[in-house]
Amino acid sequence: MSLQDILSNNIIKAVKEIFNAELPSVEFQATRKEFAGDITVVVFSMLRVVKGNPVTIGEAIGDYLVEHVDEVTAFNVVKGFLNIEIKDSFYLNFFNSIKDEENYGFEGASSKAIMVEYSSPNTNKPLHLGHIRNNLLGYSVAEILKAAGHPVYKTQIINDRGIHICKSMLAWQRFGNGETPKSTGLKGDKLVGNYYVKFDKEYKAEISDLVSQGVSEEDAKKQAPILLAAQQMLQKWEAGDEKVVVLWKKMNGWVYEGFDVTYKNLGVNFDTLYYESDTYLLGKEFVAEGLKSGVFFKKEDGSVWCDLTDEGLDEKIVLRADGTAVYMTQDIGTAIQRVKDYPDIEGMVYTVGNEQDYHFKVLFLILKKLGFDWAKNLFHLSYGMVDLPSGKMKSREGTVVDADDLITEMAKTAGEISEELGKLDDYSETEKQELYKIIGLGALKYYILKVDPKKRILFDPKESIDFQGNTGPFIQYTYARIQSILRKANFDYSQPIISIELDEKEKSLIKLLQSFPEVIQQAAQNHSPALIANYTYDLVKEFNSFYQNVSILGADNADEKTFRVQLASTVANTIKNGFSLLGIQVPERM
C-alpha cells in the first residue's frame, strides 16, 4: 500500500471519529521547501464536510496520525495545510524493496492488448525529419504502454500504391537508364526519391511549355503529358498489368531495403506490417452493411455518405458515385481487419500528424456507429510539425531533411563536442564512433520527446547536443558518472541497510524514485513520452544536487557509504529504465 493510501485511510477514519463526518477523499500535494514535512494534506478541501477553523482541524488530524500511524513522526499546520513528517524507516523499507529490481516501475502484462501504428511512409521517398518525430513518438508510446502492463503490437501501414508511387516509377522508367541501388551506391529509398523529385521538375517544365502555348495554368496542370502518363500507369497497376506490377514490386523492394536500414539506425521496430495495396479495397462490405442499418445513406448520384451533423461534424463520403473507395472506407476496413487478425486487441493508437485530426474524429465516430465496442478505445496520437531554422520542408522539391543524413550529422556533432571536452583519450576509434552515435541519437530523441506531442517543434541540432541543461547528453553523462562511482566502489554493497538517519537529499531522491511507477501509468494514460523525459530530467537534477552536497565514497561510516552507493545504483537503473521507454541508450562511460 502506498503512503498516500495509508494516510488517506487514516485521515478518513480521523474525520469520522473526531468530527463525525464522512470525508469522500483526501487531497495531497508536495510539501513546500520552506516547511518541514514530506507530504502535505490540503485541509481547505475538507471544509465542505467539516465545519470549523482549518488550523484547528489540521492539528486534530495531525495528533490522530502521530498516535495511530507508525509511519508518521511529526506534523505542522500552516494555515489550511497539514504538513506531515514521515519516519526514515518508511523510506528505507521502501528503498530496500526496490533496490534490486532491474525493471523497477514496469508492470507485468495484465491488461488488454493495444495496437500502436506509427511511421506509415509512402514508398516514393526516403524518411525525413517529420517521419522521425512520428517514429520516435509511436515507438516510445508503445514501450510506455508495455511498461504500464499492456501487451502491445507495433505496426505500420505502408502507403505503397497510388499516383505518387507511379510518378517515381514513370520517371525512373523514362530517365533512369536502368540504374539500381547497387549500380549507384545509393540506398534504394533515396534512389526512388530522386525520381520523385525528377518527375516534379519535368512536370513543371511541361506546364510552363503548355502555358507558353496559350493554355491556362489550371488546364496545363491537368493536361501535362507526364501526368497523364502517370495516371495511365496507375490504371494499368489497378488492372494488374504484368509489366507495371513487376516494376512496382522491384522499386518498392528497393525502398523497403532502404527503410529497414533507417529503422535500424533510428532504433525502432515493428511486430507486424500492413500494405495499402492489400487494404485499399477493404471496408466496402461494411459500407453495404451500414447502408442497410441506416448508418450511411445514398445520394441521388449513387455516392454513399455518413451524416455526422448531430455530432457537430459534417457529412462524410464513404463511397464515390462510381463505387470506388475513399481513404475513409479503407481506414474503416483496415481497423476491422486488424481486430480480426489480433482478437485480443482492445484499443488502437494512430500516430499521425495533427493535419489529420478531423479525419480521425470521423473515423472513430463511424466505427462506433457501426457497433464496434472496441471503437471507444481508439486514440489519435496527434503531433505538431517539426521545423528547422532554415524553414519548411517539401519532398517533391527535394528540400526535406533526410532522416539518415540527420542521424549521421547528429553523431558527427556529438563527436566534435566530445573531442572539445577531451574526455575520451583512452577510447579506441571504434569505441568513440559508437559513443558518438549513442550521444547523437540520444540528443535527437530526447529533444523531440521531451516536448508535448501536440506542440510544434523548432529543432536545432546543435542546441540538442549540450552537456548541460534539459538535454539527452546531460542525462546520459549523469548516468555515466554514476557508473564511474560504482566502478570505484570496490566493496560488496549488496546488503540492505535497515537503520540509518537519512539526509534530506537522500530522502528527496527516494521520494522521486517512489513516483516512477505512477509516472509510467500517467504517461501511458496520456500517451505522452514527455512525462517520462521530464521525470528523468528531474531525477538527474536531484541526483546531481545530492552528489554535490553529500559525499558518497567518503561517507563517515560503512553503513552510510553502502547505502549511498546503493542509492546511486538505483537512480542509475531508473534513469536507464526511463530512457529505455524513450528508445534512448545510456553509455557506461563518457
Distance between CA 569 and CA 577 in Å, rounded? Answer: 12
The closest alpha carbon to 67, from 26, 30, 13, belongs to 13
Its sign, for the CA torsion 322, 324, 329, 333, is positive
The one-letter code for the residue type at 513 is L
- Supply 451's cell numbers: 516536448
- Length of the chain (residues): 590
Q: What is the pLDDT of residue 399?
A: 54
Residue 122: Cβ-neighbour burial (10 angstroms; 0-12, 13-18, 19+): buried
Local structure of 382: helix, strand or coil: strand
What one-character DSSP code corresponds to residue 481?
A: H
Q: What is the pLDDT of residue 392?
A: 47
- Supply 580's cell numbers: 529505455
Residue ranges, comma separated, of all CATH 3.30.1360.70 domains in the chain are 3-86
- Residue 432 CB partners (closer than 8 Å, separation 6+): 415, 418, 424
**Rg, the chain, Cα only:** 30
Residue ranges, comma separated, of all CATH 1.10.730.10 domains in the chain are 405-581
Q: What is the pLDDT of residue 241?
A: 96
Distance between CA 165 and CA 124 in Å, rounded? Answer: 5
Q: Is 3-86 in CATH node 3.30.1360.70?
A: yes
Strand partners, 157: 274
**Tens digit of pLDDT per residue, the chain (590 long)?**
788 999 999 999 999 999 999 999 999 998 998 999 999 999 999 999 999 999 999 999 999 999 999 999 999 999 999 999 999 999 999 999 999 999 999 998 777 899 999 999 999 999 988 899 999 999 999 999 999 999 999 999 999 999 999 999 999 999 999 999 999 999 999 999 999 999 999 999 999 999 999 999 999 999 999 999 999 999 999 999 999 999 999 999 999 999 999 999 999 999 999 999 999 889 999 999 999 999 999 999 999 999 999 999 999 999 999 888 899 999 999 999 999 999 999 999 999 999 999 999 999 999 999 999 999 999 999 999 888 776 544 444 445 688 999 999 999 989 888 877 776 777 888 999 999 999 999 999 999 999 999 999 988 887 888 888 899 999 999 999 999 999 999 899 999 999 999 999 999 999 999 999 999 999 999 999 999 999 999 999 999 999 999 999 999 899 999 999 999 999 999 999 999 999 999 999 88
Distance between CA 482 and CA 590 in Å, rounded? Answer: 11
End-to-end CA distance of the chain: 39
Give the C-alpha distances (Å, rounded to integers) separating 519 from 278, 442, 526, 529, 567: 39, 21, 10, 10, 20
CATH number of 405-581: 1.10.730.10
pTM for the structure as a whole: 0.92
The closest alpha carbon to 362, from 336, 319, 331, 322, belongs to 331
The one-letter code for the residue type at 243 is K
